[in-house]
């Protein structure tokens, strides 16, 4: 009898733990949907950016994309927005979603020309072109980096990538 009760409690405990995990996932999804729909919340731009960094670190590309849309809509002048677009581009590149990565990197270059992520975004864009076997486009960007940004870390990386293409 005691053995049966123990087994029932064990099964019930596993069921309850599973329900808690599923509820947590559901709440996270519901939160993302609310963000996308623009339902009011009291998060600051720094909190949004922190969540985007967290999504990037955990490899949650879909969540990052949803948060980024909401973040850009709510805080179009945030000092963190350029870095958020850069992270989205970097993650899209890692996910082999080259079209999206080029779009995110281009957004940094065109909308935030004074950003500290411009050169890195140009490099990321060139890498996306390279991975798509569009070597002419990637060589043009690598050459631009070599010409305009000789003191940047990307200068040396571009030199290496250009040698690999030839």
Q: Whole-angstrom Cα distance, residue 25 to residue 117?
A: 33
Q: What are the tens digits of pLDDT across the range 19-36? A: 444 444 555 666 666 665
Residues 73-125 have pLDDT tens digits of 999 999 999 999 999 999 999 999 999 999 999 999 999 999 999 999 999 99
Residue 4 lies in a domain: no
- Cβ contact 98:115 at 8 Å: no
What are the E-state strand segments in the chain? none
Give the pTM. Answer: 0.76
C-alpha of 7 from chain center: 44
Domain span including residue 112? 70-165
Q: How far is CA 141 from CA 7, 60, 162, in A?
A: 64, 29, 10
Q: Is residue 85, in this structure, part of any structural domain at all?
A: yes
Question: Considering its fold, how many domains does the chain have in total?
Answer: 1
Q: Is residue 15 part of a domain?
A: no
Q: Is residue 40 a part of any domain in this protein?
A: no
Indicate which CATH number applies to the domain containing 100: 1.25.40.10
40: its two tokens: 């009011």
Is residue 123 in a domain? yes
């Amino acid at each position: 009898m005691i053995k049966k009760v123990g087994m029932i409690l064990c099964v019930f405990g596993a069921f309850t733990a599973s329900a808690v995990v599923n509820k947590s996932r559901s709440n996270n999804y519901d939160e993302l949907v609310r963000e996308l729909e623009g339902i009011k919340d009291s998060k600051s731009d720094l909190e949004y950016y922190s969540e985007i960094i967290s999504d990037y670190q955990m490899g949650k590309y879909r969540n990052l994309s949803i948060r980024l849309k909401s973040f850009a809509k709510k805080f179009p002048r945030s000092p963190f927005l350029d870095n958020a677009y850069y992270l989205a581009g970097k993650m899209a590149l890692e996910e082999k979603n080259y079209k999206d990565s080029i779009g995110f990197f281009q957004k940094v270059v065109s909308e935030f020309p004074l950003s500290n992520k411009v050169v890195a975004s140009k490099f990321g864009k060139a890498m996306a072109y390279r991975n798509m076997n569009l070597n002419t486009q990637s060589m043009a960007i690598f050459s631009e980096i070599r010409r305009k940004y000789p003191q940047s870390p990307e200068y040396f990386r571009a030199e290496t990538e250009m040698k690999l293409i030839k």
